[in-house]
Amino acid sequence: MQIIKYNKVKIGLYVLIGCLLVTSCAENNMEQVIIPSPNGKLKVHFNLKSTKPTYHVHFNNKQVIDTSIFGLEFKNQANLTSNFKIVGVIENEVNENWTQVWGEKKEINNHYNHSIIKLQEIDGLKRHMNINFKVYNDGLGFSYTIPEQESVDSLSITNELTEFNLAQNYSTWYTPANFDSYEMAYQNKPANEVESANTPVTFEALKDSIFISIHEANLTNYAGMTLRKDKDSKLKFQADLVPWPDGVKVKTKTPMNTPWRTIQISNTAGGLIESCLILNLNEPNKLQDVSWIKPLKYIGIWWGMHLGTQTWTLGDRHGATTERMKAYIDFAAENNIDAVLAEGWSTGWEDWGKAKAFDFVTPYEDFDLEALSKYAKDKKIKLIGHHETGGDALYYEQQMDKAFGLYKSLGIHDVKTGYAGPINPSRQLHHGQFMVNHYRKVVETAAKYKLTINAHEPIKPTGIRRTYPNMMSREGARGMEWNAWSEGNSPEHHVTLPFTRILAGPLDYTPGIFDLLYKNAKGRVKWNGLDKGNSRINTTLSKQLALYVVLYSPLQMASDNIDNYRNEPAFQFIKDVPVDWEDTKVLQAKIGDYLAIARKDINSNDWYLGAATDENRCDLEINLDFLDSNKAYVAEIYADTEQSDWKTNPYEHQILKKEVSSKDTLTLKLAPGGGQAIRFKTIPK
């Protein structure tokens, strides 16, 4: 067996060297390729074992992924699983920087070693298949390519055999695989007890300081991937693609590329959060003009519907009225809030579940869309449009141009979409190939009308926001609304999301509830039969503020009814906190226990810090060396008190000011279920 180790190749020589390597490999019958990360600490070993393609991964001289196979199975043609030889390897190194339109950090380094391993069947049809690797210092991505060739045209993939064979019994943070929803509480179990998982799924080995997240990037014209346990192994997971109604997983034709299967690896939990691997594995921005894409804070007519004090439908408790909307616009204009959302403004909610229920352009009789658009414009406030489809994706596609055209004519640049309900066409699943293509069609069509998208009941993020930066945020997790009508989200939930779901991309969690026990929700009624009768927000008030920094989104909602913000000094932090960042640093982190993150405002020299804990009290020592060394700051601190407690005393908090510099250390005292939010405001010289 011959082993070829990675040789760095200048990009300018890529094609020439690639041709040379193709010839060399074919002649030498190579069976193994080793691809290191640029710093050499991570190594991927590709092998042919008895003609079957496999890989395994080492990090810091420890095996983290054991021998795992590749392969694709098809309907009506032979599978591509074995009978291979390597006929060529193309290698190069890329080191470039690119600038985000918006994001957790402005400048991103894209540095990786790239290998394209060209395979061909030894006999039979002698079909070609390539395995592509990009290996970074913080992880790797790999994908399949089936080139255009005479023996292969249309493809019906019935199974992707990709394996992730764990090298040890990692502690696992996951939600069970679900083809229609990600809105579940996270579980923490040893890997050998996990039967299936949505991605991202996160593994940790604290003894070895190894943290791993498995996900996918650039999910395009393909089915979403979940993981299922191999029936013959306790630590081996296989890709499980979401099917079409006929059982086929992916319908495509050559040339074909799968999404990148991603493995982020770090020796710290915070390193997973700081990784940009998912974004780097997507194509560059395809939109020429991005001047209309703006991160923003918003309020809206929304929370009352979940509490039952208002309704989406027309009637005595209808939420989206012209009068109420004007009050929200006025409040936004007075309080440094960029935009206002109104759900339930368009007709059709009374026909929920019926075909073609919503037309997306006809307002209820008590909501004057055109007048409100002018009123908001005069106040320099944006309106956020809302389209609930009830799952009727096919009809929405037929209505998009008309609906988006209306918004464009009114100067509306942002829309929230929803897919709460079974998908039409019948038996399609939210995370299958049909809906993956639908969600992309929405983003591409919206871009033509200069509209950004905030998708609820979505496909998970896979970094598409790099290619289409108008795809700004999405739900895809248990968000704030679950606190209105269920047992709610646990204090642990908020310090698990950044290490799991948010590794995939921004989350529209909608924080900022101040009426934690719903004291002001007079006349609250059950609206959907889910209310447990003891629903509440399971945090302190200070933690609600911290979530604006801890849970990243370029769209952040102050989600409470606006009356609960009036005359409340703590609301000042929501008014101040930015939604677009120049840099992000994780200061302290333990998955499911606590997290402290600092982010620098892209439009000033100010920094913001958010810290949160689970149900346990927590003291965190924070070194302020992330601050600029040549500047002085006033720390405006919104903190729990010694008496604060999410169960017994959630409202109590304190607001403090203190001069600090980069040489100082702060002790953050977080109450049970609590948090702390800090603005580090530069002092003018």
Q: What own/partner pairs with CB < 8 Å and gap ≥ 24 does 362-370 have? A: 364/314, 364/318, 364/320, 365/314, 366/314, 366/318, 366/320, 366/321, 366/322, 367/320, 367/321, 367/322, 367/325, 367/342, 368/322, 369/345, 369/410, 370/410
Please state the φ and ψ torsions of residue 335, each to the nearest 5 degrees.
Answer: -130, 25
In angstroms, the CA 550 to CA 674 distance is 13
In angstroms, the CA 163 to CA 85 distance is 20
Orientation of helix 369-378 relative to helix 322-334, angle to 10°: 10
CA angle 185/546/558 to nearest 5° reads 85
DSSP-H helix ranges across 577-638: none
In angstroms, the CA 113 to CA 135 distance is 5
Instruction: Give the C-alpha distances (Å, rounded to integers) separating 256 from 139, 143, 146, 147, 161.
Output: 24, 10, 5, 6, 16
In angstroms, the CA 676 to CA 544 distance is 9
The bridge status of strand 256-257 relative to strand 201-205 is unpaired
Catalytic site includes residue 481: yes
Give residue 20's region: left, alpha or beta (phi > 0; psi -120 to 50). Answer: alpha
Name the residue among 246, 99, 237, 239 with its Cα closest to residue 172.
Answer: 237
When computed from its CA atoms, the radius of gyration of the chain, rounded to whole angstroms, is 26
In angstroms, the CA 202 to CA 186 distance is 11
Name the residue among 399, 375, 390, 395 with its Cα closest to residue 344.
Answer: 390
In angstroms, the CA 432 to CA 155 distance is 16
Please state the φ and ψ torsions of residue 22, each to the nearest 5 degrees.
Answer: -60, -45
8 A C-beta contact, residue 417 and residue 454: yes
The bridge status of strand 171-174 relative to strand 201-205 is antiparallel
Catalytic residue among 121, 388, 481, 636: 481
In angstroms, the CA 352 to CA 355 distance is 8
Q: Element (H or E) spanning 549, and its range? A: helix 541-550
In angstroms, the CA 280 to CA 275 distance is 10
From first CA to last CA, the distance across the chain in angstroms is 67
Reported in sequence order, the residue ranges of 430-521 that DSSP labels E, i.e. its strands, are 452-455, 471-474
What residues are annotated to the active site? 481
